Structure 1
Amino acid sequence: MRPVYFKGDTAFSAALGCGLAAGWYGAASAVFPEAAGGIIPAAGAIGIAGFLPVVLGTRPFGQKAPEAARSHSNMLKQLQALDMHAGINMVSNEGILSEVNDHLLALTGYDRKELIGQHVKMLYDEVSQSQTCDIRNFLEQGSTWQGETHLRRKDGSTLVTQATIIPIFDKKGNWAGSISARTDVTETSKLQAERHSAQTLNELRDDIWIIDAQTEKFSYLNGSAKERLKLVNEEYLEKDLGDFNLASEIESVLKACRALRASGDVTTQFEAELVGTPMYVSIKYLPDPRGAGRYLIVSTDISHRLEQEQRKSAFISTVSHELRSPLTSIKGAMGLLLSGSAGELPDKALALLEIAHRNADRLILIINDILDMDKISNGQMEFDISDVDLVELLKEADRANAMLQQRFGVVVTLSGADKPVFLKTDPNRFIQVLTNLMSNAYKFSPPNGRIVLDIADAGEHVRVSVKDEGQGIPLAEQGKIFDRFADMTNSDRAAMGGTGLGLSICKAIVENLGGTIGFDTKEGVGTTFFFNLPKNEPASNAVDDVDVKRIA
């Protein structure tokens, strides 16, 4: 290593040595927190303090030649110890690496020839490259820079170091470069990050559980979870889940964990009651190639949300019922007037009355949709299952919609209705679904358009379909067609009006009857909506596990 010079006299050189020593002491203390003030930090600090004057060709004040020689020998021994614990490099004022020690090579994985002559930025990752300007400014002003730097190893991994970088000056006092001492604090940094993450998790209001998938024991509970389960300290780590007072509630979550792992999925969500509190539970399975993995369970208290939903539901229900009663009376009165019960009316008055009568019908349908969706969301819609002939129900729906067919100028034909098709289902809900699909077909069909109502055997199911020759459904809207209040951006479809609830209600009814619903469409050609009902009796008679429920 060729001689280098520091700006100033011997005292300044010794001061710089002490500065670097202080940096080593701080770095060593970070890596060896239990040894702060002990042998490792202190020995390294002494080594640096003595080493720098030697590099500069100086000796401490007051020392004679023999004493300086002994000091030199001791310093070299201390330097050897330092060399084992710190990565050292020298850099020119242009940022070119001119010297590196073996320890830095070992830390980074590079060979000496790969680094010497290269810009020091090749060692820095993206985080620390932004620091280079600040470091350079410190060094140009003759100041020592201390701090954390992130180096990039040859294999691409990150090496976190605690660094002390001091400037080097030539004989004329010009800044010539710098010398750096770096200590690997990667593991310390990781531990600090993990402690920070653990502290953050512990302070979250959500309950966090981590369960070992093999032992099915808790491996972590945050503060909120321990408080809810009435646990103190880390006593839960030694217990089987069955040993807890709330074993049945914990077991329900554990069953969901097992089912998730068996299914091959990695996440699931549901609502459950834990310790008397309604919770939204989200489970994520974290596989581990070395073992069975872990379950990460996050539970959120949804009491307030459910309370707000109940208030909203009660308000909607009250308003809807209060509106429906007077509307029914108004519609009935207008029906009597249209029938001539109050005497003959002028043609102009009749035309206006017919418009009002149709709009009263429309308002009642909207209110009914809102009430139905409210019942579905709360699991309160009832179903009356009986043996019915679907062909007769198909014909009944066709007859009931005769006026709408005439109004929209469409032609309806029945297909597959030549013989009875018996099934156990709710006839009123069946007609409700079919009427909604037919109404949509009328709205989106051109004048004189043809609509086909078809019933067909589909193996274990019976398929009922409504086919139109309308404009079709744009691709961008197809994914949300069964969503509540779907925002249809197509101006022609939006102009048809409606609550945006009809198809969502149809989906909920069909699924509760044990069936499925879907559609085929082609823009500019038409759309076919269909639903399949099982030939066996539906499993339930009340809305339960349908995706209009709060949690799917």
Structure 2
Amino acid sequence: MVKSSDLKSNATSAVLSGCALGGAWYGLAHTIFSGTAEAIVPAFGAIAIASTVPTFILNRAAHRRFHDTRFSMAQRLDAFDKHACINIVNENDELTEVNEKLLELTGYDRVDLIGQPVTILYEASGSKIALEIRNNLRSGKSWEGETALRHKNGHTVYTQSTIMPLFDRSGNWGGSISVRTDISRTNELISERHTAQTLYELRDDVWIIDSETETFSYMNRIAESRFNINSDDYRKTSFSELAHQRDTSEVLAACRELKVSGKPSTRFETVLMDIPVDVSIKFLPGTDETGRYLILINDISERVAQEKHKSAFISTVSHELRSPLTSIKGAMGLLLSKSAGELPVKAVSLLEIAHRNADRLVLIINDILDLDKISSGEMDFELKDVDLAALVKEVNEANAMLQQRFGVQVEIMGLDVALPFRTDPNRFIQVLTNLLSNAYKFSKPNSTIFIDVADEGAQVRVSVKDEGQGIPAEDQHKLFNRFSDMANSDRALKGGTGLGLNICKAIVENMGGSIEFESTEGIGTTFYFCLPKVALQDAQPALEKQKRQA
């Protein structure tokens, strides 16, 4: 803007210049003209020059200022255009102009937008704001605020917008101009800051570790407190050093195993610095071959204590119930064997129902006591050299009465020769009996159960196959859980407790083996377990792991 003092100064200079030129002309004309012309021409010429020269000078100055101002304005508009996203809308709310910055931000081409309703730019959730903007503009008011725009590929970009109404010379509303600044990254930074603050205040330990260098990039407040370490120190400490100093080697091993296996996550329970914890590890891949481990550690001391109290209570109650229940069952057995003489037919029928339910109660109590032993790590194993073929035959003979009860045949394979093996015979019988009992319960009448024993060199594989209804695919993942409910389960009618398979898994894994199954709905199920040909102490790592998970 030109100051008034500058204008006065320029006008004064122009007048003085005109007077000077007029005076010069007057002096020069006197030497050129003579006679009447000598009296008239110099005077009129001087007056004309003195009056026109200032006007000419001022016009030239004004023209020069106009071009300077226009050039300066063009520079400013160019900078404005490169910095902000601009669009112009006509009175019908249609886009008539968009700059390159807006096209770059939204991913559209110019032909995608020109002539389209301005709402094409807005997210569906932004219709309310679009209406508010329109009402403001039509009433002659500008609008400022945050707007969510829809990128061509579907994601959302956020802008801080100033939208002004446009009017023609008659004062009629003719549309609007919008000036927007991309604030998506600012919003992301604010969100990341809030997330970081939340993570820092979590009650669970949070670690973030570089998978390539195995160095810490983040620890939240509770983790820093647990290890008595600050951000400056933990960033200088490798995971290996911490594992050695604070006995977190199991977490380190789990991270390395996760990286090798290619699995996205893992979870387990362990003891960290004498505190029982639940550890959840997720591998977060980076843009290159590296990545990060996100580790969440939850203190489960309170839960473990509650479980111990509950387990102790259940164990005590079960022990107290088993003795009288055994006596009741024995007394009913004597009555059914007619030791006290003949009973009425109706009484015998009722007594048989009571005897069967007593059997079921004994089974439940025994299962609960076994679970208690597993959870406390007190399940004993007595290894003996046995003939595995003889054990399998013994289990089959002991369950012969079930063949008649369920109308099912049994075929045994792989027992042509003796199979020397070292195991705990009672635990082996317990596992096989449970699998065989389930096969009986869920087999179709007149079908066949197949028991197969295979010597696979380093291990022995025992399988029980039935021709029953099979297990629904959606339920198979929870089959070894305690009290798991199947979608088509009639366990209550079959007399099961929902604990047997969980106990079988614990026994087999305590002996260093594994148990799996294959099932197809409508065709049947095969359960199989494998036991290594090693002494129990060689399977100690698996046993310790089972104790922690039980």
Q: Is 1:441 the equivalent of 2:433?
A: no
- The higher relative CO (CA closer than 8 Å, separation ≥ 6) is in 1
Distance 1:131-1:544 versus aligned 2 partners, 3 A rule: farther
Which among 172, 176, 186 is matched to residue 178 of structure 1? 176
**Contact 1:229 / 1:275 at 8 angstroms: preserved in 2?**
no
Offset at residue 499 of structure 1 (A): 0.7
Give the equivalent residue in structure 2 for 1:334. Answer: 332
Distance 1:364-1:200 versus aligned 2 partners, 3 A rule: same
Offset at residue 429 of structure 1 (A): 0.8
Offset at residue 260 of structure 1 (A): 1.8
Offset at residue 162 of structure 1 (A): 1.4
Give the equivalent residue in structure 1 for 2:28. Answer: none
- Report the Cα distance in structure 1 between the residues aligned to 2:350 and 2:110, rounded to whole angstroms: 95
SS of equivalent to 2:539? coil
Give the equivalent residue in structure 1 for 2:16. Answer: none
The Cα offsets for residues 18-61 of structure 1, whole Å up to 9 and x where unpaired, read as xxxxxxxxxxxxxxxxxxxxxxxxxxxxxxxxxxxxxxxxxxxx
- Report the Cα distance in structure 2 between the residues aligned to 1:147 and 1:535, rounded to whole angstroms: 74
Distance 1:258-1:323 versus aligned 2 partners, 3 A rule: same
Which among 473, 478, 500 is matched to residue 498 of structure 2? 500
Give the equivalent residue in structure 2 for 1:117. Answer: 115
SS of equivalent to 1:88? strand
Pairing 1:219-258 to 2, within 5 Å after superposition: 219-232=217-230, 234-241=232-239, 247-258=245-256
Distance 1:343-1:141 versus aligned 2 partners, 3 A rule: same
Give the equivalent residue in structure 1 for 2:387. Answer: 389
Distance 1:157-1:417 versus aligned 2 partners, 3 A rule: closer
Offset at residue 470 of structure 1 (A): 4.3
**Contact 2:246 / 2:273 at 8 angstroms: preserved in 1?**
no
The Cα offsets for residues 193-212 of structure 1, whole Å up to 9 and x where unpaired, read as 22122122222222111112
SS of equivalent to 2:88? strand
Give the equivalent residue in structure 2 for 1:93. Answer: 91
SS of equivalent to 2:549? coil
**Contact 2:512 / 2:542 at 8 angstroms: preserved in 1?**
no
**Contact 2:512 / 2:543 at 8 angstroms: preserved in 1?**
no
Distance 1:363-1:542 versus aligned 2 partners, 3 A rule: farther
**Contact 2:449 / 2:465 at 8 angstroms: preserved in 1?**
yes
**Contact 1:383 / 1:541 at 8 angstroms: preserved in 2?**
no
The Cα offsets for residues 80-114 of structure 1, whole Å up to 9 and x where unpaired, read as 55444333322113222223445545655666565
Structure with bigger gyration radius: 2
The Cα offsets for residues 445-501 of structure 1, whole Å up to 9 and x where unpaired, read as 455655444433344433333344544445555454433222234365552131111
Aligned-residue identity in percent: 58
- Report the Cα distance in structure 1 between the residues aligned to 2:394 and 2:466, rounded to whole angstroms: 19
Compare 315-324 and 246-255 and name the one that shifted more.
246-255
Structure in which a larger fraction of residues adopt helix? 2
- Report the Cα distance in structure 2 between the residues aligned to 1:78 and 1:195, rounded to whole angstroms: 35
Offset at residue 518 of structure 1 (A): 3.8
Q: Is 1:550 the equivalent of 2:549?
A: yes
Compare 245-254 and 200-209 and name the one that shifted more.
245-254
- Report the Cα distance in structure 2 between the residues aligned to 1:423 and 1:430, rounded to whole angstroms: 11
**Contact 1:408 / 1:447 at 8 angstroms: preserved in 2?**
yes
Which among 131, 134, 139 is matched to residue 132 of structure 2? 134
SS of equivalent to 1:490? coil
**Contact 2:435 / 2:527 at 8 angstroms: preserved in 1?**
yes
The Cα offsets for residues 391-436 of structure 1, whole Å up to 9 and x where unpaired, read as 2212322332344444445454544434311111110011111222
Which among 164, 187, 196 is matched to residue 198 of structure 1? 196
Distance 1:483-1:107 versus aligned 2 partners, 3 A rule: closer
Offset at residue 189 of structure 1 (A): 2.5
The Cα offsets for residues 509-534 of structure 1, whole Å up to 9 and x where unpaired, read as 22333333344555555544433333
- Report the Cα distance in structure 1 between the residues aligned to 2:369 and 2:88, rounded to whole angstroms: 78
Q: Which residue identity lines up with residue 540 of structure 1 in the other structure?
A: A
- Report the Cα distance in structure 1 between the residues aligned to 2:154 and 2:522, rounded to whole angstroms: 55
Give the equivalent residue in structure 2 for 1:465. Answer: 463
- Report the Cα distance in structure 1 between the residues aligned to 2:235 and 2:277, rounded to whole angstroms: 23
Q: Is 1:296 the equivalent of 2:269?
A: no
Compare 534-543 and 373-382 and name the one that shifted more.
534-543
**Contact 1:89 / 1:181 at 8 angstroms: preserved in 2?**
yes
**Contact 2:86 / 2:180 at 8 angstroms: preserved in 1?**
yes
- CA RMSD in angstroms comes to 3.5
**Contact 2:270 / 2:548 at 8 angstroms: preserved in 1?**
no
- Report the Cα distance in structure 2 between the residues aligned to 1:209 and 1:286, rounded to whole angstroms: 12
- TM-score normalised over the length of structure 2: 0.77
- Report the Cα distance in structure 2 between the residues aligned to 1:89 and 1:521, rounded to whole angstroms: 63
Offset at residue 316 of structure 1 (A): 1.6
Offset at residue 365 of structure 1 (A): 0.9
- Report the Cα distance in structure 1 between the residues aligned to 2:137 and 2:224, rounded to whole angstroms: 51
**Contact 1:336 / 1:342 at 8 angstroms: preserved in 2?**
yes
Give the equivalent residue in structure 2 for 1:374. Answer: 372
Q: Which residue identity lines up with residue 400 of structure 1 in the other structure?
A: A
Give the equivalent residue in structure 2 for 1:145. Answer: 143
**Contact 1:246 / 1:275 at 8 angstroms: preserved in 2?**
no
**Contact 2:376 / 2:547 at 8 angstroms: preserved in 1?**
no
The Cα offsets for residues 528-552 of structure 1, whole Å up to 9 and x where unpaired, read as 443333334453369736679638x
Unmatched runs of 5 consecutive residues or more in structure 1: 1-64
**Contact 1:508 / 1:546 at 8 angstroms: preserved in 2?**
no
Give the equivalent residue in structure 1 for 2:530. Answer: 532
Distance 1:107-1:337 versus aligned 2 partners, 3 A rule: closer
- Report the Cα distance in structure 2 between the residues aligned to 1:110 and 1:492, rounded to whole angstroms: 60
Offset at residue 175 of structure 1 (A): 2.5
The Cα offsets for residues 212-244 of structure 1, whole Å up to 9 and x where unpaired, read as 223322111122222222234544323445666
Give the equivalent residue in structure 1 for 2:12. Answer: none
SS of equivalent to 1:238? coil
Q: Which residue identity lines up with residue 263 of structure 2 in the other structure?
A: D
Alignment coverage as a number of residue pairs: 487
Q: Which residue identity lines up with residue 170 of structure 1 in the other structure?
A: D
Pairing 1:411-450 to 2, within 5 Å after superposition: 411-445=409-443, 450=448
- Report the Cα distance in structure 2 between the residues aligned to 1:158 and 1:491, rounded to whole angstroms: 47
Distance 1:259-1:161 versus aligned 2 partners, 3 A rule: same
SS of equivalent to 2:93? coil
Unmatched runs of 5 consecutive residues or more in structure 2: 1-61
**Contact 2:269 / 2:548 at 8 angstroms: preserved in 1?**
no
SS of equivalent to 1:417? coil
